[in-house]
């Protein structure tokens, strides 16, 4: 059956109400463009032919469609003369490619309905086939039908026509059953009828919906199947509608994961893109956003207030108040709070990136830790190594970036600066305050700060009359002031 299916996605319209330089169908929602969702839904039906009709900003829409669905034929509709004209352009593009659908079904969908699901389309197509219909309409019964084409049925309940808002009588406008826009056609009927559609109507457009009346005039079967879930065919025309559909899409995605065993403490503040992969016994705390192709393994706890894009989180890891992108966090690792993981960060199993640590292009071995207040750029840190608080991996000399390599089970002191390129050998170490410019051999301790000297009586001599001097005098009986060692610093500053 599938090899008999042709899908046409209409996306030539302007979308002026978005008030955007970005084409309407390219606006993102749930981690994909609107048309990306539609292409995913129709793609799951594995159609033999897929055509996207592009027009407005086709230089942007066309390549995006090709990226999402390389098999799609692009049909260009220069002037948007109506949905019937758009389908005609699509059929002409197929004919030009020698791929006219002679038999089977042609499904028409719009590029701006991001909640559309393949299962809905499949059951609609099944009903279309079962009814041996020339035209089938996916309809919906709505509270406010204003603006939609109304489904006009005869006394026996058979569909007679679709009447557009502007052409409808007052009586027809009261009809609550509307055309969702998704229609299925017998391919041979559609290819013959498409040139019979005229633009003799209130809008002067070629209406695809006219095909329903033409089929009836030919004595063919026209059916309408009302969907239970109208939001699946709802389009987003402005940004308010986009946000409303985005929240609803997210609600559905979050609910699906909860049914699949994921604990979501606060669904209202948890955002999960459609491309995210979770497993049972993942816990998501309030304010968590999992974006792109992020994946989270069993027993990991994410959040609160964490954003991860295209990250891979291992089993049992904890990621608290963190912003991460293109990072890998190993099993049982600990990240946060207030950590910033930039692309190329890899935290080993049971490793740690602690508070106020920024990492980029940094690979930490198993159990390696950067617990406090550090910048780790372009580094490799061996297994079991601990980096002292307040360490800077100075990776940039103003012209080029360089790497720092720290071996296994090293211990580096607090407030170090590693001037890359530099290496600390396995089991090596550094003293507090070290500026590491030269390689440190395995097992050696690097010390760069000079010995400490105490300049006695400094406060009373150099800050006389201050609270500091008074406190010093109180503590020393004035005796500390007798030392007159010159107060030049021991090491250059
Ligand atoms: C259309 C239907 C209406 C239905 C409604 C559902 C017709 C005549 N009317 O009306 O019955 O209730 O959708 O939303 O079909 N498009 C093109 N090229 C064109 C015209 C439109 O590609 O020349 C695309 C648009 O980009 C859009 C879709 O087709 O994605 C629908 O077009 P639109 O103008 O919004 O149709 P409606 O008047 O809303
Ligand atoms: Ca519309």
Give the residue extent of every domain in the chain. 2-233, 262-446, 453-488
The finding on whether 85 has its CB within 6 A of some atom of ligand 1 is: yes
Mean pLDDT of 5-24: 96
The finding on whether 206 has its CB within 6 A of some atom of ligand 1 is: no
Q: How far is the CA of 208 from the centre of ligand 1 (A)?
A: 9
Please calculate the CA angle 171-175-180 and round it to the nearest 5 degrees: 140
The tens digit of pLDDT for each residue in 420-451 reads: 999 999 999 999 999 999 999 999 999 998 88
Mean pLDDT of 186-202: 97
Q: pLDDT confidence of 347, banded at 50, 70, 90?
A: very high
Residue 191: what pLDDT? 97
Residue listed under structure tokens 């580096």: 412
Q: pLDDT confidence of 266, banded at 50, 70, 90?
A: very high
- Rg of the chain in Å (alpha carbons): 33
Q: How far is the CA of 235 from the centre of ligand 2 (A)?
A: 7
The Cα 90–Cα 243 span in angstroms is 31
The tens digit of pLDDT for each residue in 394-407 reads: 999 899 999 999 99
The tens digit of pLDDT for each residue in 104-149 reads: 999 999 999 999 999 999 999 999 999 999 999 999 999 999 999 9
The finding on whether 393 has its CB within 6 A of some atom of ligand 1 is: no
Q: Are 198 and 88 spatial neighbours (Cβ–Cβ below 8 Å)? A: no
Residue 486 in this model has a pLDDT that exceeds 70: no
Q: pLDDT confidence of 478, banded at 50, 70, 90?
A: low
Question: Where does residue 200 rank: exposed (0-12), middle (13-18), buried (19+ CB within 10 A)?
Answer: exposed
Residue of 8, 9, 13 to test ligand 1 pocket, by largest number of atoms within 8 Å of CB = 13
Residue 3: what pLDDT? 57
Looking at every residue in the chain, the average pLDDT score rounds to 95
Q: Quick one: which atom of ligand 1 is closest to the CA of 205?
A: 8
Residue listed under structure tokens 């080993």: 348
Catalytic residues: 372
Same fold, 2-233 and 262-446: no
Residue 73 in this model has a pLDDT that exceeds 80: yes
Residue 450: what pLDDT? 87
Residue 461: what pLDDT? 95
Residue 248 in this model has a pLDDT that exceeds 50: yes
**Residue whose CA is closest, atom 14 of ligand 1?**
181
Q: Are 378 and 402 spatial neighbours (Cβ–Cβ below 8 Å)? A: yes
CA distances from 175 to 2, 149, 160, 170, 211 (A): 34, 10, 13, 9, 20
Residue 485 in this model has a pLDDT that exceeds 60: no
Class of domain 2-233 as given by CATH = alpha beta
CATH of domain 262-446: 2.160.10.10
Q: How far is the CA of 237 from the centre of ligand 2 (A)?
A: 8
Q: Quick one: which atom of ligand 1 is closest to the CA of 15?
A: 26
Cα-Cα-Cα-Cα dihedral sign, residues 95, 98, 100, 102? positive
Buried b (16+ CB within 10 A) or exposed e, 295-316: bbbebbbbbbbbbbbbbbbbbb
Mean pLDDT of 262-285: 98
The finding on whether 208 has its CB within 6 A of some atom of ligand 1 is: yes
Predicted model pTM: 0.93
Nearest CA to 345 out of 304, 393, 301, 388 is that of: 393
Mean pLDDT of 217-233: 97
Residue 479: what pLDDT? 67
The Cα 39–Cα 42 span in angstroms is 5
What is the DSSP-derived secondary structure letter of residue 322?
A: E
Q: How far is the CA of 149 from the centre of ligand 1 (A)?
A: 10
Residue 265: what pLDDT? 98
Nearest CA to 101 out of 222, 226, 4, 203 is that of: 4
Residue 231 in this model has a pLDDT that exceeds 90: yes
């Amino acid at each position: 059956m599938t090899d008999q299916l042709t899908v046409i996605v209409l996306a030539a319209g302007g979308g002026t109400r978005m008030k955007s330089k970005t084409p309407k169908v390219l606006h993102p929602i749930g981690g994909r463009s609107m048309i990306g969702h539609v292409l995913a839904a129709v793609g799951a039906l594995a159609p033999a032919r897929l055509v996207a009709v592009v027009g407005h900003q086709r230089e942007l829409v066309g390549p995006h469609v090709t990226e999402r669905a390389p098999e799609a034929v692009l049909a260009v509709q220069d002037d948007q003369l109506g949905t019937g004209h758009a389908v005609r352009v699509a059929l002409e593009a197929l004919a030009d490619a020698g791929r006219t659908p002679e038999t089977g079904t042609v499904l028409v969908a719009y590029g701006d309905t991001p909640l559309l699901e393949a299962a809905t389309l499949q059951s609609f197509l099944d009903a279309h086939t079962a009814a041996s219909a020339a035209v089938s309409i996916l309809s919906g019964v709505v509270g406010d039908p204003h603006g939609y084409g109304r489904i006009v049925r005869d006394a026996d309940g058979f569909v007679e026509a679709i009447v557009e808002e502007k052409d409808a009588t007052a009586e027809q406008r009261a009809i609550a059953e509307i055309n969702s826009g998704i229609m299925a056609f017998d391919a041979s009927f559609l290819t013959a009828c498409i040139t019979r559609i005229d633009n003799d109507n209130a809008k002067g457009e070629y209406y695809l919906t006219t095909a329903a009346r033409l089929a009836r005039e030919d004595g063919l079967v026209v059916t309408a199947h009302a969907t239970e879930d109208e939001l699946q065919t709802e389009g987003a025309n402005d940004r308010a509608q986009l946000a409303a559909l985005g929240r609803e899409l997210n609600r559905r995605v979050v609910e699906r994961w909860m049914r699949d065993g994921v604990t979501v403490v606060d669904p209202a503040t948890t955002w999960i893109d459609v491309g995210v992969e979770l497993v049972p016994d993942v816990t998501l705390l309030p304010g968590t956003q999992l974006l792109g192709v992020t994946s989270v393994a069993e027993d990991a706890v994410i959040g609160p207030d964490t954003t991860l894009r295209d990250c891979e989180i291992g089993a049992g890891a904890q990621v608290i108040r963190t912003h991460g992108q293109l990072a890998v966090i190993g099993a049982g690792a600990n990240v946060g709070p207030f950590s910033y993981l930039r692309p190329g960060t890899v935290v080993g199993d049971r490793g740690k990136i602690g508070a106020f640590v920024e990492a980029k292009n940094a690979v930490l071995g198993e159990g390696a830790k950067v617990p406090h207040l550090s910048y780790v750029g372009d580094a490799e840190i061996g297994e079991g190594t601990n980096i002292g608080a307040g360490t800077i991996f100075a990776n940039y000399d103003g012209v080029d970036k360089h790497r720092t390599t720290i071996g296994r089970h090293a211990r580096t002191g607090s407030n170090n600066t590693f001037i890359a390129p530099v290496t600390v050998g396995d089991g090596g170490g550094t003293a507090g305050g070290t500026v590491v410019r030269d390689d440190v051999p395995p097992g050696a301790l690097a010390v760069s700060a000079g010995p400490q000297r105490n300049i006695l009586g400094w406060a009373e001599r150099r800050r006389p009359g201050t609270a500091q001097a008074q406190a010093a005098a109180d503590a020393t009986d004035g005796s500390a002031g007798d030392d007159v060692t010159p107060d030049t610093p021991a090491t250059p500053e």
